[in-house]
Every structure is written in structure tokens, then in C-alpha cells.
Amino acid sequence: MTQAPYEQAGAALDKGGVELQRYSHAVMGTYGTPLRVLERGEGSYVWDADGNKYLDLLGGIAVNTLGHGHPAWVAALTKQAQTLVHTSNFFATVPQIELAEKLLEISHAPTGSRVFFSNSGTEANEAAFKMARRTGKGTIIALEGSFHGRTMGALAMTHKLAIREPFEPMPSGVIFVPAGDVEALRTAATEAGDDLAAIILEPIQGEAGVRPLTHGFMAAARIFSARHDALLIMDEVQTGIARTGAWFAHQLQGVTPDVMTLAKGLGGGFPLGAVIAFGDRAGSLLGKGDHGTTFGGNALGAAVALATLNAIEDEGLLANVKTVGEHFRASLGAIEGVKEIRGEGLLIGIGLDEPISAQATAAAIEAGFIINPPTPDTIRLAPSLNLSLAEADTFIAWFAHYMQAPAAEESAVEVVEESAEESAVEESAEESPVEVVEDPAQDASEAVTEESAVETVDGTESVKDSAGGETTP
């Protein structure tokens, strides 16, 4: 075996540096260089291989619903692991049945609704794509700025050309309209006519920089899909599972989908996705032999997801999401250099006056905070739903100080050799010059360009004439 060169320019690397070299030799380079090697977590904090502590305000990109090591989550995992882990889908298990029932309950799905379990968000969207195909029609309308995943069907519905083009040809039939443009949606739906199989949207476009659709646009999508007997698919992979202060973001808008896709926060860290088909028609589009996956909804994942949903209820996390989200919004929105705060609950996009989100993210991690720059002028926060106000305040204080003198000094990286806890609100931390780096994380390649990050348009006027009862909030 080749011995990795565990040094750099003659200097010995710290433990994290050594692990990163091992990573680069053994793991495919799809995510670029990881920011840190993380070793453990507790609540909303994580520690890296060199013992530095970070407040995790990204939550594994909206995944770690209850934070790390939550007792109920760990207990459910342990108990189920000792009882029954996996059976194949030739068999049913009680946790799987209970989870499906729970999801139907919290999504207020009508009689005849059904759940399909996948392992990830992209696979949930893949199943939704196949449901659209099973309508017997060929056109799917997706939105500019959309992100639905990396497998071929989900990728075909994802807008960013740079991540689709290298893998063409895509599955056919997907067209894109500007997010928020009701007239463009109406035109596309009318032109597709009887061939319109589905409209797919994210109530808040997370990867595009946390950009919410307006009620008017979502209502229009509901009307046009109903008019053409097409499915309205809502991708709530990022916005679902209490992230916005409602169980699902569409509930805030009062616009009900025919199909909803979920993943990320559902398992609270366990890889699990789901498709909820609302009503008997959508619920029976995929029949025996039409779709399947080995691991989807196995007993272990289902038990852990159930524990996650129950903890959200038992611990009043919907209310906490609203309280902490509002606090973030009010405090961060008042900081100079912040143009606007977008999103709902604990899915927050900090819109900046200047394109400095990558520098801010690099400075933040040096100061002990994990945040994320989905676009050059947006910082995204998607922390655990049980984040406390006091924890939020440590970041707000650091960020306010940082924004007084953002790392405009584009000189060499100065590594702050201290625990993150000590440095979190320390006077000088944000003055440390940081290297301006391209976001090396998964999301970097999902960042939209200025052109595709469209402003949402309130289309209420345009849909008044045809607004049906189901679209009113």
C-alpha cells in the first residue's frame, strides 16, 4: 500500500490534515475538499479531529432534526437494532406501517392516500417522476432555480445546466419556466395541454438561495395542474418535517399537492426518504412491480424516523422553530450589509449586499460556526430544530461583529488555533483574514447563477379569475 505523504511543505500536519489526505486518496472527489474532519456531535455542537468545537447551524443541510445524540433518537435506534433491522419488502414491519400512518396524519392526507419509502431525496423524486409517467402523459414543468437531486430523473427536473449537461441525454419531456412567473407557467401548461403530466416545485428553493415561492404562484400551479388533470408535485425534501414551523411548507400556503417528496429531516440523520401520494388517484399510480428499492422503509429507519416525528411533537419543536426563526430574522435582518432575510422558520437565507458568502462561511468556521453559502450573496442556516435562543445568539453576535469589517483583506489564511467555544464571540476572530475559497461542499456546484436566481412574483392577480376553493390559505 502506498504511504500517503502526511506532511505539507515540510511541516507536519495536524490530525485533521492527515485524515483529509487519507480522504483524498480513498474517497472519490465529488465533493471537493471537505471543510473539516468531524469526529463527534452533541446537540447542535460538533467537534473536529483536532478537538475544535463548532456550533452546527447547517445541521448536515437540514437533516439533523434533533441534533446529535438525541436520547429518544438513540434509544429508538438501539431498541430497533436489537429487535429487527431489515426484512426485505417481501415483509412488512410495524414501524414501517406506523411511520406511513403518521406521515399521512401530519400531512392531512385524504382517504386513499399512500406512502412509498425511499432512501434519499433524489430517489423520492425519482419515484415522483415515475408517477408522472404513469399518468400516460409526457410533459413535466419544472422551475428555473430548482434542485431535485442527482439521479437521472431528478436531475432532468433540476435546472442548473452545468450539472445536467455532462450527463445528457436526460429523460425527455421536462421544460423549465421562471420561478414566480405565473404567466410563463400558464403559457407552458396551456401549450402542453393534454400532455401535461406534472408540475414540480419546491415551496422554498433551498439550493437556489432559500427563495420562497409566493402564495399566488403556488395557487396558480395548483389551478393549472388541476385544469390539465396533471399532478402537482411538491418537493419538500428540504422544507418538510417541521423545518419551516409547519410540518410541511405547503401547509403555510394552504396549497395542497397531489404528490409530496420528503427526505433529509425525516430520519433525523438516518438516510430515509418518502413519497406521499394524496388521494386514491395519485396513491394508486404505482402498482405492483412498478417501483421498488431494497432498503426503503426498513424497520430500523422507520423506527428512527418515528422517534424523530414523535420528539418534534413531544418537545414542542414546531413552536421552537418559529420562536428561534423569528429571533434570527429580527436580529440578522438588522445587521448592516444584510439586504434581506428569506425563508421560513429554521430554513433561513441571509441575503447579503455583497457577494461575500464564501468568505463569511470560511471566517465563520474559523470562529466555530458551521454555515453554508448556496449562492455568492446568500448564507444559509438550517440548524437542528431544537436549537436554543442562547445558541442562536452566539452566532448573531459573531456575525454582527464580522459584518462590521467583513474579511475584505484578501490575504493568507490565518488559522485560529483555539477552541470554537472560546472564539465564538471573541473580539478579534472575525478580523482574521481568511482565504476566499470556492465553496468546497456539496452545494457549491448547485449554486445558481445570478440570472437563474429569479425574484418571485406575486401572481395573485393572475389567478383570481380561476381560483378554486382548494387554493385559498
Is 147 known to be catalytic? yes
Catalytic residue (one of 48, 117, 176, 264): 264
The yes or no reply on residue 179 touching ligand PLP (CB under 6 A) is: no
Task: State the cell numbers at 208.
Answer: 437556489
CA–CA distances in Å: residue 434 to residues 52, 397, 407: 18, 19, 6
- Which residues have CB under 8 Å from 417's CB, separation 6+? none
The yes or no reply on residue 298 touching ligand PLP (CB under 6 A) is: no
The yes or no reply on residue 122 touching ligand PLP (CB under 6 A) is: yes
Instruction: Name the helix (H) or strand (E) containing 437.
Output: none
Residue 276 β-bridge partners: 115, 260
Task: State the cell numbers at 58.
Answer: 447547517
Q: For the CB of residue 449, give the shortest distance to ligand PLP in the complex, in Å.
A: 18
Q: For the CB of residue 150, give the shortest distance to ligand PLP in the complex, in Å.
A: 6
The yes or no reply on residue 181 touching ligand PLP (CB under 6 A) is: no
Q: 55-94 as b/e, with b when 16 or more CB fall inside 10 Å?
A: bbbbbbbbbbbbbbebebbeebbeebeeeeeeeeeeeebe
The yes or no reply on residue 148 touching ligand PLP (CB under 6 A) is: yes
Please report, in angstroms and rounded to a whole number, the separation of the first and last CA atoms in the chain: 63
Q: For the CB of residue 107, give the shortest distance to ligand PLP in the complex, in Å.
A: 17
Task: State the cell numbers at 358.
Answer: 464564501
Alpha carbons 316 and 416: distance in angstroms, whole number:
37
Task: State the cell numbers at 296.
Answer: 426503503
Number of residues that bind ligand PLP (CB under 6 A): 14
Q: For the CB of residue 87, give the shortest distance to ligand PLP in the complex, in Å.
A: 23
Q: Which is nearer to ligand PLP, 208 or 277 (CB)?
A: 208
The yes or no reply on residue 147 touching ligand PLP (CB under 6 A) is: yes
Write the binding mask 183 to 202 for ligand PLP: x where contact by CB under 6 A, - elsewhere: -------------------x
Q: In this structure, what are the phi and psi dihedrals at residue 62, rounded to the nearest 5 degrees?
A: 65, 30
Which of 44, 113, 225, 238 lies at the binding interface for ligand PLP (CB under 6 A)?
238
Alpha-carbon radius of gyration of the chain: 22
Which of 41, 206, 374, 376 lies at the binding interface for ligand PLP (CB under 6 A)?
206
The yes or no reply on residue 471 touching ligand PLP (CB under 6 A) is: no
Residue numbers 247-276 binding ligand PLP by CB under 6 A:
263
Is 235 known to be catalytic? yes
The yes or no reply on residue 19 touching ligand PLP (CB under 6 A) is: no
Q: For the CB of residue 142, give the shortest distance to ligand PLP in the complex, in Å.
A: 11
Q: For the CB of residue 61, give the shortest distance to ligand PLP in the complex, in Å.
A: 6
**Do the beta carbons of residue 318 and residue 247 sit within 8 Å?**
yes
Instruction: Name the helix (H) or strand (E) containing 38.
Output: strand 38-42
Active site residues: 147, 235, 264
Residues that bind ligand PLP (CB under 6 A): 120-122, 125, 147-149, 202, 206-207, 235, 237-238, 263
